[in-house]
Structure 1
């Protein structure tokens, strides 16, 4: 989403880093470019004006102008002010400190993704050792109740039984009683939306709030709508008193102005962001991490957290033992591909590594796509267990069979086997590492630097 803004800010900062001496004039010129970049990213005009003024005041101080690296000082100020603009650190956690069941109310306009987000949030809460109950309280939109029930079945999370003929306030109150009697500690209320704010909708939401006393009222905003999402959030906040915002579709191609403006305009912090269609694609919002990625500094903390959640400890230990005995085979390679896929798209992973995001942009078309990764996976899955365990037995006839089974060519099979042999040799240098260090050192996919790249016509930076 932030690619264009990131590119423009990086261009400004490149000039700043090259300044041996900083004056008020070149700071003024740099901030003019920052201002234009933010406005083009659809950030609220008033927010941009105040932001640039705060940066200017701090940047023209004696301490900055006379420092050894004034350009870096200005960049640090911009970084810190962007973090503050989006809410700073430490105030974006859910407030669940109440006697269970704790009610969380999701509100927003129709089409913002409330129902899917309700399921995603339930899934996230379950990972935090909570026992959530999903409550379909939207009786107006066709199939809204069935949609949440479907999401609940996919996640194996309980969904309160309701029907379109019921009163939404009664549904919400009944769900709280049901949760208390059945041991659910968190109740997620999926409320109705409209195409625009109206008194009937707000009146109903106010009655649900009065009946359930929600600990959190979370506004679900479609990040693709830009400043309109900020305006609507202000309307909901005025009537309901929002406690937080969830930005859905942050992985889209919108300019990103909503993410940068919404806290400053409404005073309500962004608590979660939706980063994809999958039901696990919801993450707590960390302004400092987003700004680091925005300014090309990476986001190692999020990458480590993702890896910790995705890596199977027992599987990693088993792999470590096989490597010590020089027994790493194609079956293990396939397992590692599955592990890395759990972390997200290759592009998003590389964007979290300092410097790699820019490199990926410069090498666009050189790194393997998700499609090419699937091709490698198809080749390995077309092999028999014996062939995966010992690729040395794969002769000409077997290669022909594997090529037909995977929809590839014998030449691609040859390349895969050649690169895998190289990868096996590379693995020896990691044999002394523990399981966690092993996976870090391999970058998740040992030797894919040759495999994916050669099959795809380019290179892949992991493990090289």
Structure 2
């Protein structure tokens, strides 16, 4: 992900500054120049970057700082705050409520990924307990209804559209009425796009909006347009009441930083970013956690939310108990691999951990990493209960290894490789021993504790991450390390 490269560049600049024996004006300027270069390469507007540099210098007046102040920490916090300010629209968007019907209308230019994004948005809310439905009011693009129908069927989401009706307003009204009767609480209307901003597009959007009275209008925008995002977002806002923005294709364009900052400047909150073609390559955009992850500081709340999604409530106390005991068996490794596969793209999950960066997981290696996990699980399927539940690696003698290789259709060296990974992860897991977890295994409380530690100074978490092993060492297991 190109934004990961931006985050990596900024993190390196801050790290180089941290390594300096004395942090003086020269070191600060070198650090800020490096950050400026990285932001400009990501196509962030020159004025925004210049203002950010000026503001940081005002905040970090090295001459005025007393000897006892932690200059590195003050500079890091200033960079964090200024990046947040740059990407923050300053106001939240409308949030749909479960059980109460909400109509959400999607608008955008043709080719921005609007139809795919509609389905991703529906799928995201379906997983959270909403009852979404999709309405295809795009009668301009040939194949639009077929695409929406195919996406919706795959995601098991009800849909409505017509091959015969050419009036998008009638289709939108009929679809919304139908799904309201069916008690759907999130009705998503996909509208026509054009290759460029033109009067016919805006007039059609206005008519559909007047007829369906949406609770929220979402503008979908391709990240590759960079700074042109500002003018585009403004034009759409002047035609319909755009209340939020989703930026797509953030996985392959250097201009992503420009798109995010330009849209924020229109005071339209970015609510999601699309990071790939797949249904789960779709992230909530929340400024502080996003910037935190960009700088390699992690996002414990997001990570714990992911765990909440995949680990059933009744199993959470048991998982925390195992963590605190520090005993790591092959069965625990198997269960955690299952959880990782359910959590979505590996780089996205790992970037939520302090000290990790999505940059450590090159995009092309995600599939390779997931295939490796599945291979390991296949080998473990050929193990006995005794082997899976033992925390003694010496139990795995030559004859057992050969039997597992035959049973799983893999080579002996692959089984040996999997056992080496088990030993390494067991070593990392053992560092968790004695960690104080909330009573009754409350993961929500754990998330709050972790976040409080993170925001109140990274010392505790950084020492934990050092104990557990470096980010690259841990990512190496998933094909991301060097």
TM-score, length-normalised on structure 2? 0.76
- 2:335 is equivalent to residue 340 of structure 1: no
Give yes or no for the alignment of 1:69 onto 2:60: no
Instruction: Classify 1:309/1:394 alpha carbon distance in 2 versus 1 (closer, same or farther; 3 Å).
Output: same
**Residue number in structure 1 paired with 2:462:** none
Residue number in structure 1 paired with 2:139: 139
Equivalent-residue separation in structure 1 for 2:72 and 2:39 (angstroms): 20
- Aligned mate of 1:408, from 407, 410, 421: 410
Segments of 5+ residues of structure 1 without an aligned counterpart are 442-447
Relative to structure 1, the CA distance from residue 378 to residue 284 in structure 2 (aligned partners, 3 Å threshold; closer, same or farther) is same
Q: Deviations over 1:171-201 (max 9, x none)?
A: 1122222233222222211111122212111
Q: Is the 2:109–2:195 Cα contact (8 Å) retained in structure 1?
A: yes
Q: 1 CA distance for matches of 2:314 and 2:98?
A: 36
Offset from partner CA, 1:271-312 (integer Å, 9 cap, x none): 112233332333321111111122221222211111111212
Query: Structure 1 residues 63 and 175 mapped into 2: Cα distance closer, same or farther (>3 Å)?
Result: farther
CA change 1:110–1:413 in 2 (3 A) is: same
Is residue 16–residue 72 contact of structure 1 (8 Å, CA) maintained in 2?
A: no
Q: Taking structure 1 as reference, are residues 75 and 85 closer, same or farther at Cα in structure 2, changes over 3 Å only?
A: same
Distance 1:203 1:77 in 2: 44
Q: Does 1:96 align with 2:96?
A: yes
SS in 2 for 1:104: strand
Q: 1:272 to 1:3 in 2, by over 3 A?
A: closer
Give 1:42 shift: 0.8
Alignment CA distance shift 1:234-1:413 (3 Å): same
* Deviation of 1:92 (Å): 3.5
Is the Cα–Cα contact under 8 Å of residues 223 and 253 in structure 2 kept in the other structure? no
CA contact (8 A) 2:229 2:263 kept: no
Aligned 1:286-435 pairs, distance under 5 A: 286-316=286-316, 333-357=333-357, 360=360, 369-381=369-381, 383=382, 402-403=404-405, 406-416=408-418
State the match for 2:7 in structure 1: 6
Counterparts of 1:411 and 1:314, CA distance in 2: 37
Query: Hey, what does 1:117 align to over in structure 2?
Result: 117
CA contact (8 A) 2:8 2:359 kept: no
Matches within 5 A, 1:156-175: 156-163=156-163, 165-175=165-175
How far residue 27 of structure 1 moved from its aligned partner, in angstroms, is: 4.4
Other structure's SS at 2:279 match: coil
Residue 236 of structure 1 deviates from its aligned partner by 1.6
Mapped contact 1:95–1:215 kept (Cα < 8 A): no
Closer, same or farther: CA 177–37 of 1 in aligned 2, 3 Å:
same
Verify the 8 A CA contact 1:88 1:287 in the aligned structure 2. no
Aligned partners of 1:248 and 1:275 also within 8 Å: yes
Distance change in 2, residues 1:404/1:99 (3 Å)? closer
Q: Quick check: 2:89–2:269 contact (8 Å CA) kept in 1?
A: no
1:298–1:354 Cα contact (<8 Å) kept: yes
Contact 2:94–2:243 (CA under 8 A) maintained in structure 1: no
Instruction: Report which stretch shifted further, 249-258 or 164-173.
Output: 249-258
Where does residue 52 of structure 1 map in the other structure?
A: 53
Deviates more, 1:105-114 or 1:427-436: 427-436
User: What is the rounded CA distance, in whole Å, between the counterparts of 1:324 and 1:84 in structure 2?
Assistant: 39
Q: Quick check: 2:44–2:258 contact (8 Å CA) kept in 1?
A: yes
Any idea what the Cα deviations from partners look like across 1:175-229, whole Å, max 9, x if unmatched? 2222332222222111111222121111101111111222211111222443344
Find the aligned partners of 1:94 and 1:168 in 2 and give their Cα distance. 24
CA contact (8 A) 1:132 1:186 kept: yes
Q: 1:319 to 1:431 in 2, by over 3 A?
A: farther
Gaps of 5+ in 2: 451-467
- Aligned mates of 1:411, 1:350 — CA distance in 2: 27
TM-superposition CA deviations, 1:359-407 (whole Å, max 9, x none) = 9479x99xx93343232123234x2777976899999788557535645
Question: In 1, are the aligned partners of 2:325 and 2:433 still within 8 Å (CA)?
Answer: no
1:262 to 1:342, Cα distance in 2 relative to 1, 3 A: farther
Closer, same or farther: CA 290–63 of 1 in aligned 2, 3 Å? farther
Partner of residue 106, structure 1: 106
Tell whether the 8 Å contact from 2:220 to 2:246 is kept in structure 1 after alignment: yes
Q: How many residues align?
A: 444
Secondary structure of the equivalent of 2:59? helix
Given the superposition, is the C-alpha separation of residues 377 and 127 from structure 1 closer, same or farther in structure 2, using an over 3 Å criterion?
closer
RMSD: 4.3
Give the distance between the partners of 1:195 and 1:166, measured in 2 at CA.
19
Distance 1:93 1:282, change over 3 A: farther
Deviations 1:9-50 (A, max 9, x none): 223323443364544x65455433332221111112232233
Post-superposition offset of 1:238: 2.7
Give the distance between the partners of 2:318 and 2:295, measured in 1 at CA.
Answer: 39
1:183-262 matches, within 5 Å, as 183-262=183-262
SS of aligned partner of 2:271: strand
Deviations 1:309-368, CA, capped at 9 Å, x for gaps: 121234456778999999987565433311112223333333222123399479x99xx9
TM-score by length of 1: 0.79
